């Protein structure tokens, strides 16, 4: 840990003095952190704000809640205000109701006397507080677990199919010599040049003919095999020496066994990368699920988020809370798998 | 019996023919070395015997049975690769047992064989390690162990020592030779190093650009090379070659291009008067002597204590090396007379490169 801190706080200047390059590089890095992390932090903070707090101008970074007080004779807690001018200046009053520019207020210590206060004479008493209610209500008001299940199912199944199909294609394209190999690879990579929007309509017609509209498989199957995945794995598999495969053939391993016992374990770093990418892509996928899935029961989290945006009303507090919940799983996956991106195990064993 | 036979074996990659019809018989229990410069097709030939490379035409037979259509795994061979080709993600034990698992050997039997082989090759304490944690020599042993554990009829080695440092190479050379003695299997060994070939082989096959130049015991190749290529390739330092023309005096002498005359051996060779020939003399047969038939200007002298090497050139600039035992008093810049006995002379036809020796 101490090593990590020493590493992260290295400077070019010695003995605690900062070189100008230190200022520039740290400044640049902090700017990058701000650009990338700022919006996410704002989103997280806003997801804990009440609806009123979100619309406040000027906005505040931390979520605030108005302090309230329980007064005898009233069932609900009453919001507290401090009076800054007028005849009641200096007192702390609770508001009963507001009529136009005038608020009816009472002193919590003397609840029987009703006071009339101009609303420009008072200021709300607030403190930093988190509105966890956004999160609990999201679970209560929407079938969030259903959406979560749909998203997870689509993501995991698509990723599993993608890894198996892509790695088998990559194995053939990298380790077998056959007529038309380059042509097939070109076709696979060529599909990268066709934008998804172009094939959207024909793809939808195929899915409809197969009766997969409003079915999770209608989302899974078209997005399972990706040219990027084939290309990524093929490039990695090219680095596995052919002699290892020859050795396995001499060891009487079948081609399937070579794939399963030799190629797959040795491609683990590339497969981990593809798994991370695939999970992120599928989890965040929006357009295609939006087209295929139209029933609320089949919605993914992304579609559910979209459905929170009504024509005239957007309930930002729920939307933001749900956005944070949607972000969490991919973030966790990335945290656990990212170390595989940089490690390689196939580099040794040869010479 | 594990004899290996090649009958007019050919291999083409597209229009490029890399193996141009090779006939070869390797007896059971022989240690046969394929040697040749890089790109001569020796590794390809080995891979064709192993079954990893399909042959274009001809027959490969093992134990008298043609195996052209039998897969690599079913030929009863084991191969040690140049890069060792150990499975990097498996421990040494898994590396050794992978082949046995694939032929459904029972687990206790696998364990027994692995233990036996690891004891024999002294890799017992490495069994739980992965290849990346082994040194070059240890990897080499594991690679050999992986071949031995399957009890093949024939072992194939594809330049197995080329990645080791010089000292280790000498050690492993001895170990592979000892292994051959102990197991008594047929072994085929590919190398570009003629010293390796000379020290290890029962039989050497010298290959050049896809053709078999000569096949025989190391001393046969050394003493009776069939052509200029074998003569130059086998033996270190290289044989000296001097061109000349047979004199019209009944074929008893040779005029060199240096305008010196050399007496020729009276029998054993067949040539015509006026024929252009190449005279070959090994460096250790050439001696500095007064009254020798050539004069040589010495350019440099290497004194190794027990041996000395003289490097220089003849009158016409042909480079010549002399290897003389003991120490020498010759110094660089000196011009000396050199000679050799007629029985140490090899004569080749310059045009075809073939020996003029009569067998």
Strand order in the sheet with B77-80: B77-80, B154-158, B186-191, B31-35, B203-208, B211-216
| Per-residue pLDDT at A341 | 62
Res B228 pLDDT > 80: yes
Residues of A in contact with B52 (CB under 8 A): 246, 249-250
Q: How far is A259 from chain B (nearest CA, A)?
A: 13
How many Cβ pairs within 8 Å bridge chains A and B? 83
- DSSP-derived 3-state class of residue A350: coil
For residue B137, give how far its alpha carbon lies from the nearest alpha carbon of chain A (Å). Answer: 11
Residue B308 has pLDDT above 80, yes or no: yes
Cβ contacts of residue B262 below 8 Å, gap of 6+? B244, B253, B254, B256, B279, B293, B294, B345
Listed as own residue / partner, the contacts of A322-327 with beta carbons closer than 8 Å and 24 or more positions apart are: A322/A138, A322/A142, A322/A144, A323/A43, A323/A47, A324/A43, A324/A44, A324/A47, A325/A135, A325/A138, A325/A144, A325/A301, A326/A151, A326/A283, A326/A301, A326/A302, A327/A40
How much is the pLDDT for B14?
A: 86
CB contact under 8 A, A244 and B87: yes
pLDDT of residue B356: 87
Compute the average pLDDT of residues B268-296.
87
- Entry field: residues in chain A: 351
Would you call A243 an interface residue with chain B, using a CB distance cutoff of 8 Å? Answer: yes
**Between A137 and B60, residue with greater pLDDT:** B60
Helix intervals (H) in chain B: 42-50, 92-102, 107-120, 136-148, 166-183, 194-200, 218-223, 228-233
CB contact under 8 A, B85 and A351: no
Taking an 8 Å cut-off on Cβ atoms, the answer to whether B73 and A265 are in contact is no
pLDDT at A342: 58
Question: Quick one: tokens of B130?
Answer: 């992965």
Q: CB-CB: which of B85, B102, B103 is closest to A246?
A: B85
* Whole-number pLDDT of residue B113: 92
A-chain CB neighbours of B103 within 8 Å are 252
Please give the residue of chain B at the shortest CA–CA distance from A249.
B73
Is 90 exceeded by the pLDDT of residue B10?
yes
CA distances from residue B234 to B68, B206, B213 in whole angstroms, order as listed: 32, 9, 12
Interchain contact, A349 vs B99, CB within 8 Å: no
Q: Distance between CA atoms of A72 and A108, rounded to whole angstroms?
A: 9
* pLDDT per position as a tens digit, B14-25: 889 999 999 999
Map out the domains of chain B as residue ranges.
4-225, 237-349
Q: What is the mean pLDDT of chain B?
A: 90
A148 token code pair: 């979560």
- Residue A348 has a pLDDT of 36
B81: nearest CB among A243, A253, A348: A243
Give the chain A residue whose CA is nearest to the CA of B103: A252
- At B35 the pLDDT is 93
Closest CA to A262 of A242, A243, A248: A248
Architecture category of domain B4-225 in CATH: 3-Layer(aba) Sandwich (3.40)
Contact A250 B88 (CB under 8 A): no
Closest CA relative to residue B124, chosen from B155, B145, B147: B145
Residues of chain A with pLDDT under 70: 1, 338, 340-351
Asked if the C-beta of B49 comes within 8 angstroms of chain A's C-beta atoms, the answer is: no
Q: Nearest C-alpha of chain A: how many angstroms from B233?
A: 28
Assess whether pLDDT exceeds 90 at residue B309.
yes
In Å, what is the CA distance from A30 to each residue of A11, A25, B55, B201? Answer: 15, 9, 64, 68
Nearest CA in chain B to A242: B85
Architecture of the domain delimited by A142-342: Orthogonal Bundle (1.10)
Mean pLDDT within B182-198 = 91
| Whether pTM exceeds 0.80 | no
Name the minimum distance, in Å, from the CA of B27 to any CA of chain A: 22
One-character DSSP codes across A288-349? HHHHH--SGGG--HHHHHHHTB-SS-B-HHHHHHHHHHHHHHHHHHHHHHHHHHH--STTSS
State whether residue A179 sits within 8 Å of chain B by CB: no
* A248 neighbourhood in chain B, CB within 8 Å: 87, 98
DSSP output for B188-240: EEEES-HHHHHHH-SEEEEEETTEEEEEE-HHHHHHS-SBHHHHHHSSSSPPE
- Only one residue has tokens 């806003």, namely A46
Give the per-residue pLDDT at B1.
67
Q: Tell me A77's DSSP state.
A: P
Test mutation, A236, A251, A343, chain B, max B CBs within 10 A: A251
Taking CB atoms and an 8 Å limit, are B87 and A350 in contact across chains? no
CA distance A49 to A64: 7
Tens-place pLDDT, residues B177-187? 999 998 899 99
Q: What is this model's ipTM? A: 0.83
CATH architecture of B237-349: Beta Barrel (2.40)
Nearest to A350 among B71, B84, B89 (CB): B84
Which residues is B80 bridged to in the sheet?
A: B157
Q: Do B132 and A266 touch (CB under 8 A)?
A: no
Q: Which residues in chain B have their CB less than 8 angstroms from residue A254's CB? A: 102
Within a 13 Å sphere around the CA of B7, how many CA atoms are in the beta-carbon half? 11
- Which residues of B fall within a CB distance of 8 Å from A348? 88, 131-132
| Residue of chain B minimizing CA distance to A246 | B52
CATH class of segment(s) A68-124: mainly beta
Distance of CA A20 to the CA centre of its chain: 37
β-strand pairing of B261-263 with B203-208: unpaired
Q: Whole-angstrom Cα distance, residue B46 to residue B190?
A: 7
Tell me whether A51 touches chain B (CB under 8 Å). Answer: no
Of B73, B150, B163, the CB nearest to A249: B73
The structure tokens listed for B74 are 């079913």
Which of A239, A252, A348 is the best substitution to test chain B (most B C-beta atoms within 10 A)? A252
B142-175 pLDDT per residue, tens:
999 999 998 899 999 999 888 888 888 888 888 8
Task: Count how many Cα atoms sit within 13 Å of the Cα of residue A206 in the half-sphere of its side chain.
Answer: 10
Q: Whose CA is closest to B9, among B64, B53, B48, B63? A: B48
* Residue B184 to residue B177: CA distance in whole angstroms: 10
Q: How far, CA to CA in Å, does B239 sit from each of B227, B232, B233, B323?
A: 12, 5, 8, 11
User: In terms of CA atoms, which chain A residue is nearest residue B147?
Assistant: A251
Percent of chain B with pLDDT over 90: 53
Structural domain boundaries of chain A?
2-46, 68-124, 142-342
Cβ of A349 and B102 within 8 Å? no
B142 touches A at CB < 8 Å: no
């Amino acid at each position: 840990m101490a090593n990590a801190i020493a590493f992260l706080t290295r400077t070019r200047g010695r003995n605690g003095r900062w070189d100008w390059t230190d200022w520039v590089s740290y400044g640049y890095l902090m700017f990058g952190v701000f650009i990338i992390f700022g919006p996410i932090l704002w989103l997280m903070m806003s997801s804990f704000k009440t609806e009123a707090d979100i619309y406040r101008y000027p906005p505040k970074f931390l979520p605030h809640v108005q302090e309230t007080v329980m007064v005898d004779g009233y069932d609900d807690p009453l919001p507290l205000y401090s009076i800054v001018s007028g005849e009641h200046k200096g007192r702390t009053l609770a508001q009963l109701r507001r009529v136009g520019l005038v608020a009816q207020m009472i002193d919590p210590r003397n609840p029987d006397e009703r006071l009339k206060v101009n609303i420009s004479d008072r200021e709300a008493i607030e403190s930093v507080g988190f509105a966890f209610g956004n999160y609990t209500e999201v679970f209560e008001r929407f079938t969030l677990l259903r959406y979560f299940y749909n998203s997870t199912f689509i993501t995991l199944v698509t990723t599993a199919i993608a890894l198996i199909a892509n790695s088998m294609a990559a194995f053939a394209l990298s380790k077998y010599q056959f007529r038309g190999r380059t042509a097939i690879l070109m076709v696979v990579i060529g599909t990268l040049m066709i934008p998804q929007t172009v094939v959207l309509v024909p793809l939808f017609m195929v899915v409809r003919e197969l009766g997969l509209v409003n079915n999770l498989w209608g989302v899974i199957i078209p997005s399972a095999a990706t040219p990027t995945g084939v290309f990524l794995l093929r490039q990695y598999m090219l680095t596995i020496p052919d002699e290892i495969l020859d050795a396995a053939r001499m060891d009487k391993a079948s081609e399937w066994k070579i794939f399963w016992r030799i190629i797959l374990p040795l491609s683990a770093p590339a497969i981990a990368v593809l798994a991370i990418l695939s999970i992120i892509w599928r989890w965040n996928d929006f357009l295609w699920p939006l087209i295929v899935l139209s029933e609320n029961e089949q919605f993914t989290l992304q579609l559910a988020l979209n459905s929170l945006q009504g024509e005239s009303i957007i309930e930002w507090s729920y939307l933001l809370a749900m956005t944070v919940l949607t972000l969490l799983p991919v973030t966790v996956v990335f945290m656990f798998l990212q170390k595989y991106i940089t490690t390689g195990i196939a580099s040794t064993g040869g010479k | 019996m594990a004899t290996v036979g090649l009958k007019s074996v050919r291999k083409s990659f597209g229009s490029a023919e890399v193996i141009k019809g090779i006939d070869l018989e390797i007896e059971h229990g022989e240690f046969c070395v394929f040697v040749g410069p890089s790109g001569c097709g020796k590794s390809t030939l080995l891979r064709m015997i192993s079954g990893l490379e399909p042959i274009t035409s001809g027959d490969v037979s093992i134990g008298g049975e043609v195996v052209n259509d039998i897969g690599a795994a079913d030929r009863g061979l084991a191969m040690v690769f140049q890069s060792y080709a150990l499975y990097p993600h498996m421990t040494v034990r898994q590396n050794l047992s992978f082949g046995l698992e694939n032929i459904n050997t029972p687990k206790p039997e696998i364990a027994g064989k692995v233990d036996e082989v690891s004891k024999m090759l002294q890799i017992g304490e490495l069994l739980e390690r992965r290849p990346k944690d082994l040194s070059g020599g240890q990897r080499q042993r594991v690679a050999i162990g992986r071949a031995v554990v399957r009890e093949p009829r024939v072992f194939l080695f594809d330049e197995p020592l080329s990645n080791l440092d010089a000292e280790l190479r000498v050690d492993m050379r001895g170990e592979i030779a000892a292994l051959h003695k102990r197991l008594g299997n047929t072994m085929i060994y590919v190398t570009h190093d003629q010293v390796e070939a000379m020290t290890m082989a029962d039989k050497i096959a010298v290959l050049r650009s896809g053709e078999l130049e000569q096949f025989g015991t190391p001393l046969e190749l050394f003493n009776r090379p069939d052509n200029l290529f074998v003569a130059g390739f086998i033996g270190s330092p290289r044989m000296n070659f001097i061109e000349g023309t047979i004199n019209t005096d009944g074929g008893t002498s040779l005029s060199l291009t240096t305008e010196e005359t050399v007496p020729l051996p009276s029998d054993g060779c067949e040539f015509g008067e006026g024929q252009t020939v190449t005279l070959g003399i090994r460096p250790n047969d050439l001696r500095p002597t007064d009254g020798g038939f050539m004069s040589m200007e010495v350019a440099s002298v290497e004194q190794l204590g027990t041996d000395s090497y003289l490097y220089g050139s003849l009158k016409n600039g042909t480079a010549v090396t002399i290897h003389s035992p003991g120490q020498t008093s010759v110094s660089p810049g000196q011009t000396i007379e050199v000679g050799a006995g007629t029985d140490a002379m090899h004569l080749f036809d310059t045009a075809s490169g073939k020996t003029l020796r009569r067998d």
